[in-house]
Amino acid sequence: MSTIPAQAATLTNVAGSASSVALFAASGRARGRAVWNDSAATLYVKFGASASATSCTVRLDPDDYYEFPQPVYAGAVEGVWASATGAARVTEW
């Protein structure tokens, strides 16, 4: 974990999908990550590949926000929605 503050953030909108999609690519530079479920459907987030309702790290109900704990997990993260609606607003710094 770096003690130098982040100087920039990358914001991405990921469209809701009923099949597992990438929310974050693996990044050795990640100091922090956050996800806001801007959807009317539940979002299942998995640290790793192939997110599902039965294989997930975090369940985000509509309008929930999740900030990754420190030290931040910097591997690939995928998500899947209970129905393909809305989006995930993801930020990495």
**Residue 6's pLDDT is what?**
73
Euclidean distance between CA atoms 42 and 32, whole angstroms: 23
Output the CA angle 72-75-76, nearest 5 degrees: 125
The per-residue pLDDT for 4 is 66
Q: How is the chain split into domains, by residue range?
A: 11-92
Q: Split the chain (93 residues) into runs of 10 and give each run's mean pLDDT.
A: 74 98 95 98 98 98 98 97 97 97
Output the CATH code of domain 11-92.
Answer: 2.60.120
The model's pTM is: 0.92
Q: Report DSSP letters for 48-92, one per residue.
A: BS--BTTB-SEEE-TT-EEEPPSSPP-S-EEEEESSS-SEEEEEE
5 class by beta-carbon count within 10 Å (0-12 exposed, 13-18 middle, 19+ buried): exposed
